């Protein structure tokens, strides 16, 4: 049993919160920081020095010896370079720990080893990290000792973004500015800022570390590249929301403690659909902080798993034939005077501001469905999106019955007079209350679903940063708001103009609404008829970043320059090629040095048995038959292995870039699949003690 914890006491104990700043900073300095947090601007050098000292003192009181600028390069994970607070000792040999404002505000890691997609030649490798004042500093406690982490943005010498945070912050500002124009139109003169809020539900698998590490594929690729299905999968639906087993419970408890200390509001935890699959979700917060916190969630899951002899797999599809993992990105937009623009109220049909916002989002998602799809793509997610389990690769919006009906009425008549009621859910038990049903049911197959007062973008991959999806979402909605505001601000009769605009947008973009089953084959056909893009893979999605439409969008709102977009495209192609290459090499190695030898060993055993049975004068038909089947399959596997080796060699010989990435996608990936099939069949033919690695049954059912 675990000890009692005082959650209120430990919560954010390792965060340099606004409250701590208020306590520790002179009034004037605190005011200056707060103002910049709320309204933007630059910190004076004096204030920076004062804050740095206070931050260092707090960190040292908490045992920190080092600090790091904590940033999010295009690798999708975080980077840190630790520096001690140590300074040069004086002549007596005494040393005083110091941390200056300059060190707080600006760092200069050698940027040449981070992907930049050609933005920065190695000879001008300068890259700068700058403090993101809107995300609080925190102390990370790992084996290296407590380290003060300062969330930072990462840019090149010439100011190009080299990370996931810079464009996100730019997109949040753009969205705020345009959303303010919208609320002003409706007479809200108070609000100064609109913030995108995000709550990210994180799925993951938990397996025994010792067993996991006996598999090279888990070690190098983060997923299984071979593996026959266990006799049991998820067909009984007995894992989802099931009782959490003790070993997993102990892990979750520790994860929560660590997250709470870091100020992450870890709130919900449960078993997911697949065996060994789980989920954790914090309470939503500002998109920027949510992105940082999601990185901390992923890091913490992995680290704490290690303490429990477990391995946390964040890959989108660690095991074939059971569900993969995603990250539901719940997104809403709220004014600083507390109005959620996605709150429909009791009568959404009368709520003109809400309907305008909804119309703009329909327009944004329809116009840029390709970009949204791209923002949720990574190498692992290719195994999941469109796999008839996770949301399909086709982007559409689910509104639920009630709102869809409102949209239909508006499109048909320009008015929405009636509202479908949610109705009462009768429990049929007199001691249980009857519930008023939500007017929207849930549709788990939709990639972009309206869920009450937020949109849930479900395509995002479990291992990915949520930086890109939120940057894209903010950007496309900012654009739609901007166009609407341009027209409405100029309108002579606002009432008339807003009605016309809602009707126009909803009519034009109604095709993006889909309330049916997103996994069905018919939807693919229907979506094609509607002209909605269906981009099946990560590499095919890269081009969406550099279309004239995308460049115009991102440049207009200062989120990406065209050069930055091209650089990101390059990084994506490189990342794809490198990742698939690692997977292919891992398969080749496992097949060559482990699997085929094991099969041959067992074939030898069968051959001996066959001969012995013959010598004994009894029938050896069964073992002879098994042997023949085994060697046939072995030959098939060997042939597939040779083909994969050839494809892989050809791919490696190519010049890095788009063509190479496509070669990996079109030649190497199918060759990998072709090798997996006979190997998985062999696994079911070979006596278990000869199989050289833990199986799906060992991994998925024994934690």
Residues 148-207 that bind ligand ADP (CB under 6 A): 197-199, 201
Binding mask 316-355 toward Mg ion (x if CB under 5 A, else -) reads ------------x---------------------------
- Site for ligand ADP contains 292 (CB under 6 A): no
Which of the 8 DSSP states describes residue 240?
T
CA distance 295 to 164: 12
Closest residue to ligand ADP, judged by C-beta, is: 199
CB-CB neighbours of 459 under 10 Å: 27
Q: 69 contacts which partner out of Mg ion, ligand ADP, none, CB within 5 to 8 A by kind?
A: none
Q: 58 contacts which partner out of ligand ADP, Mg ion, none, CB within 5 to 8 A by kind?
A: none
- Site for ligand ADP contains 462 (CB under 6 A): no
CA distance 517 to 446: 8
Contact region with ligand ADP (CB under 6 A), list: 152-160, 282-290, 313-321, 667-675: 282-290
Q: 281 contacts which partner out of Mg ion, ligand ADP, none, CB within 5 to 8 A by kind?
A: ligand ADP
Could you tell me how far CA 432 lies from the centroid of its own chain?
39
Which of the 8 DSSP states describes residue 516?
S
- Site for ligand ADP contains 474 (CB under 6 A): no
Which of the 8 DSSP states describes residue 214?
T
Q: Looking at the DSSP assignment, which residues form a beta bridge with residue 175?
A: none
- Site for ligand ADP contains 286 (CB under 6 A): no
In the complex, least distance from residue 422 CB atom to ligand ADP, rounded to whole angstroms: 16
- Site for ligand ADP contains 453 (CB under 6 A): yes
β-strand pairing of 455-457 with 327-335: antiparallel
Nearest to residue 662, comparing CAs of 568, 543, 534, 582?
Answer: 543
CA distance 654 to 661: 10
In the complex, least distance from residue 203 CB atom to Mg ion, rounded to whole angstroms: 10
In the complex, least distance from residue 265 CB atom to ligand ADP, rounded to whole angstroms: 8
- Site for ligand ADP contains 283 (CB under 6 A): yes
In the list 156, 277, 323, 330, the residue contacting ligand ADP (rule: CB under 6 A) is 330
In the complex, least distance from residue 466 CB atom to Mg ion, rounded to whole angstroms: 14
CA distance 211 to 394: 37
Residue in this structure with the two tokens 């609080």, named with its chain if needed: 136
- Site for ligand ADP contains 284 (CB under 6 A): yes
- Site for Mg ion contains 215 (CB under 5 A): no
β-strand pairing of 145-156 with 194-208: unpaired
In the complex, least distance from residue 395 CB atom to ligand ADP, rounded to whole angstroms: 19
Q: 222 contacts which partner out of Mg ion, ligand ADP, none, CB within 5 to 8 A by kind?
A: none
In the complex, least distance from residue 328 CB atom to Mg ion, rounded to whole angstroms: 4
- Number of residues forming the site for ligand ADP (CB under 6 A): 15
In the complex, least distance from residue 400 CB atom to Mg ion, rounded to whole angstroms: 14
Question: Helix H segments across 533-595?
Answer: 538-542, 548-556, 562-590
- Is the separation of the CB atoms in 342 and 451 below 8 Å? no
β-strand pairing of 66-71 with 145-156: parallel
The SS3 assignment for 153 reads strand
582 Cβ contact list (under 8 Å, min separation 6): 220, 221
Q: 283 contacts which partner out of Mg ion, ligand ADP, none, CB within 5 to 8 A by kind?
A: ligand ADP
Query: Would you tell me which residues interact with Mg ion (CB under 5 A)?
Result: 328
Query: Would you tell me which residues interact with ligand ADP (CB under 6 A)?
Result: 197-199, 201, 268, 281-284, 330-332, 340, 453-454
């Amino acid at each position: 049993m675990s000890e009692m914890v005082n959650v209120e006491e430990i919560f954010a104990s390792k965060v340099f919160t606004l409250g701590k700043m208020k306590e520790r900073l002179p009034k004037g300095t605190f005011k200056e920081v707060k103002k910049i947090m709320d309204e933007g601007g630059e910190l004076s050098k004096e204030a920076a020095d004062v804050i740095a000292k206070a931050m260092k003192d707090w960190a040292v009181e908490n045992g920190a010896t080092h600090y790091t600028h904590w940033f999010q390069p295009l690798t999708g994970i975080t980077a840190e370079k630790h520096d001690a607070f140590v300074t040069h000792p004086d002549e007596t040999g005494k040393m005083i720990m110091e941390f200056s404002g300059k060190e707080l505000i600006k760092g200069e890691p050698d940027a040449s080893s981070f992907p930049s997609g050609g933005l920065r030649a190695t000879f001008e490798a300068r890259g700068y990290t700058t403090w993101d004042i809107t995300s609080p500093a925190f102390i990370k406690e790992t084996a290296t000792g407590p380290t003060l982490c300062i969330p930072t943005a990462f840019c090149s010498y010439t100011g190009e973004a080299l990370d996931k945070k810079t464009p996100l912050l730019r997109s949040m500002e753009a969205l705020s500015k345009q959303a303010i124009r919208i609320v002003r139109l409706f007479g809200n003169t108070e609000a100064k800022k609109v913030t995108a809020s995000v709550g990210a539900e994180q799925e993951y698998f938990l397996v025994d570390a010792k067993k996991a590490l006996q598999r090279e594929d888990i070690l190098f690729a983060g997923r299984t590249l071979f593996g026959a299905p266990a006799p049991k999968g998820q067909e009984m639906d007995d894992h989802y929301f099931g009782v959490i087993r003790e070993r997993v419970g102990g892990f979750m408890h520790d994860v929560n403690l660590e997250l709470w200390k870091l100020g992450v509001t870890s709130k919900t935890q449960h078993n997911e659909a697949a065996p060994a699959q789980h989920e954790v979700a914090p309470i939503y917060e500002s998109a920027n902080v949510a992105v940082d916190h999601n990185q901390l969630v992923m890091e913490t899951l992995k680290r704490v798993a290690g303490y429990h002899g477990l391995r946390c797999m964040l890959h989108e599809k660690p095991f074939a034939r059971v569900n993969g993992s995603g990250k539901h990105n719940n997104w809403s937009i709220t004014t600083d005077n507390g109005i959620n623009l996605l709150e429909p109220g009791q009568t959404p049909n009368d709520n003109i501001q809400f309907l305008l916002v909804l119309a703009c989002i329909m327009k944004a998602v329809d116009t840029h469905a390709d970009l949204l799809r791209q923002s949720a793509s990574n190498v692992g997610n290719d195994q999941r999106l469109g796999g008839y389990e996770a949301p399909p690769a086709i982007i559409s919006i689910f509104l639920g019955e009630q709102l869809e009906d409102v949209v239909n009425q508006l499109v048909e008549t320009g008015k929405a007079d009636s509202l479908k009621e949610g109705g009462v859910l009768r429990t049929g038990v007199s001691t249980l209350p009857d519930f008023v049903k939500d007017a929207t049911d849930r549709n788990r197959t939709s990639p972009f679903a309206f869920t009450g007062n937020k949109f849930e973008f479900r395509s995002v991959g479990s291992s990915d940063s949520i930086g890109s999806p939120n940057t894209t979402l903010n950007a496309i909605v900012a654009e739609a708001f901007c166009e609407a505001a341009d027209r409405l601000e100029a309108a002579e009769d606002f009432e008339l103009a807003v009605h016309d605009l809602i009707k126009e947008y909803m009519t034009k973009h109604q095709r993006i609404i889909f309330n049916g089953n997103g996994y069905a084959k018919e939807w693919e056909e229907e979506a094609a008829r509607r002209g909605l893009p269906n981009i099946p893979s990560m590499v095919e999605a890269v081009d969406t970043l550099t279309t004239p439409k995308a460049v115009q969008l991102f440049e207009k709102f200062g989120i990406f320059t065209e050069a930055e977009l091209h650089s990101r495209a390059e990084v994506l192609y490189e990342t794809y090629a490198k990742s698939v290459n690692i997977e292919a090499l891992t398969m080749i190695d496992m097949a060559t040095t482990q699997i085929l030898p094991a099969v041959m060993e067992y074939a030898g055993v069968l051959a001996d048995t066959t001969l012995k049975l013959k010598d004994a004068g009894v029938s050896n038909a069964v073992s002879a038959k098994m042997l023949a089947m085994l060697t046939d399959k072995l030959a098939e596997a060997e042939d597939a292995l040779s083909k994969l080796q050839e494809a892989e060699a050809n791919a490696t010989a190519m010049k890095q870039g788009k063509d190479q990435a496509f070669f990996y996608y079109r030649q190497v990936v199918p060759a990998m699949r072709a090798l997996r099939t006979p190997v998985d069949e062999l696994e079911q033919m070979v006596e278990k003690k000869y199989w050289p690695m833990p199986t799906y049954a060992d991994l998925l059912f024994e934690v």
